[in-house]
Structure 1
Amino acid sequence: MAEGSPKRRPPTWLQEILSADEELTRKFVVWGNSLAPLHSLRKHYKALEVTCHGIPWLAFWIAFTWLFNNTHLIGLQVNMIMALILDIVLVAIAKAFFRRRRPLENKKDAFAEFGPDHFSFPSGHCSRAAMVAFIFIFLWPIPIFFHLPLLAWTTALCISRVLMQRHHLLDVIGGVVLGVIEGLLMALLWIGDSNAMWIMSFISDEKIAGAEYDV
């Protein structure tokens, strides 16, 4: 683009969609803040934000995998690390491509925000939450009585991203859709326990207790 030339603008139809999204987001925030239960929880949104940040999640699963090399968990551990890396990469690429600005009312006090994180679409927190829920419901099923708390956490996280004015509604929807797509990709890429054991043995140069290896 030549110096001094105007920046490219989205097509008119897309501008109209984004404008409508911004207006609906503002109305949703006003409505949410008018409800006493939601308004009283605003001080907890920052803590909820940290519960699904990519860095703590990845650090936790790497440490958990390294410290607890249980044969019954190794498949989940290796696949979860792979899924988190996939999510971080796809969200970073999407944000760098779309470069949508966060809502004007957003306060720049987010935890560990850098690089493409400054952009709004899609919500990485929502994609990660949706992907984790997909994994624990469909790919590595946890007992059914844990499903409701898991879905409640995912829903609360998505709502809080809008009420904190970190994201517009479409950012959250896009994040959830991306998270489901990531879950489907993980269903295709899922590494079996024996291969997960081999990977961990190769990385750590140690044999996992209880595992069997061909010699």
Structure 2
Amino acid sequence: MSNRTTEPPNPPTQPNHRTLLNHLTNLDKSLTTTLHTLTKPLIPPILLKLLELTGDGRLWFPLILSLLYSRLRFRLRHQSLLLPLLVGLVTDIAAVGLIKYLVRRPRPAHNSHPMGPTLSVDRFSFPSGHASRVCFIAAFVDLCGEEGLGGPWIGWVWVWALTTAVSRVLFGRHYVFDVVVGSGVGVVNAYFVYRFFRF
């Protein structure tokens, strides 16, 4: 009977997709930290906080609801857009909340500013709800240009939306990829809400 030496099994190798994901995550963290560190001495925190407030759902929900249920809405030229905006804000918070709950990515370590009262899923970072919300509003207003809502000020709405989205990284609230994906979610949401109410 021959004594065969058995070689130890090869250690399991990580799948390529997991290695790629780790590489992208590390790149995202590095880019985010670099942007935050470089701009921190240059941009006053109060400006970033102000941008945060302008994209907050605690501002937009009461604003849209008050316009819907006040006499002022009868004087608004585009009052028919209020209900789609409200529906879009609801679908936005539902989509972002679901993704945050499933992914559960922690916020950046340098997120040191108090966040105030938030929902439980808001302790997670991916995707950015602010970026999603402001890009939904900008994209929806842009799509409604063919409904007579056009004008040069639509460009300013996009400037506000993109500035607010970028500020989430500079303020330390989110990683770059959180903001990119959040912005995409907002634009896609705007397209579906617009098509639903248009047709």
Q: Which amino acid aligns with 1:135?
A: F
> Hey, what's the Cα distance between the residues in 1 that align with 2:43 and 2:122?
27
What's the CA shift string for 1:167-211, capped at 9, x where partnerless?
00000001111011101111221167xxxxxxxxxxxxxxxxxxx
What's the CA shift string for 1:33-84, capped at 9, x where partnerless?
36xxxx2432211121011111221111011110034284331111111011
Match of 2:143 among 134, 138, 141: 138
Uncovered stretches (5+) of structure 1, i.e. residues with no partner:
1-9, 193-215
1:14 correspondence with 2:21: yes
CA contact (8 A) 2:128 2:174 kept: yes
1:94 correspondence with 2:99: yes
**Residue 142 of structure 1, CA deviation:** 3.3
SS of aligned partner of 1:190: helix
1:107 correspondence with 2:112: yes
Kindly name which structure, 1 or 2, has the bigger radius of gyration based on alpha carbons: 2
**Residue 108 of structure 1, CA deviation:** 5.2
> Hey, what's the Cα distance between the residues in 1 that align with 2:183 and 2:38?
22
1:185 correspondence with 2:188: no
> Hey, what's the Cα distance between the residues in 2 that align with 1:146 and 1:112?
32
> Hey, what's the Cα distance between the residues in 2 that align with 1:147 and 1:32?
28
Q: Which amino acid aligns with 1:41?
A: P
CA contact (8 A) 1:123 1:172 kept: yes
Q: Name the structure 1 match of 2:168.
A: 161
> Hey, what's the Cα distance between the residues in 2 that align with 1:111 and 1:159?
20
TM-score by length of 1: 0.77
> Hey, what's the Cα distance between the residues in 2 that align with 1:93 and 1:152?
28
Q: Name the structure 1 match of 2:121.
A: 116
Q: Which runs of 4+ in 1 moved over 6 A?
A: none
CA RMSD of aligned residues (A): 2.0
> Hey, what's the Cα distance between the residues in 1 that align with 2:132 and 2:68?
22
CA contact (8 A) 1:75 1:191 kept: no
CA contact (8 A) 2:84 2:194 kept: no
**Residue 111 of structure 1, CA deviation:** 3.5
Q: Which amino acid aligns with 2:109?
A: L
Q: Kindly, what percent of the aligned residue pairs are identical?
A: 25
CA contact (8 A) 2:140 2:191 kept: no
> Hey, what's the Cα distance between the residues in 1 that align with 2:150 and 2:101?
38
**Residue 99 of structure 1, CA deviation:** 0.6
> How many residues are treated as equivalent by the alignment?
179
Q: Name the structure 2 match of 1:49.
A: 52
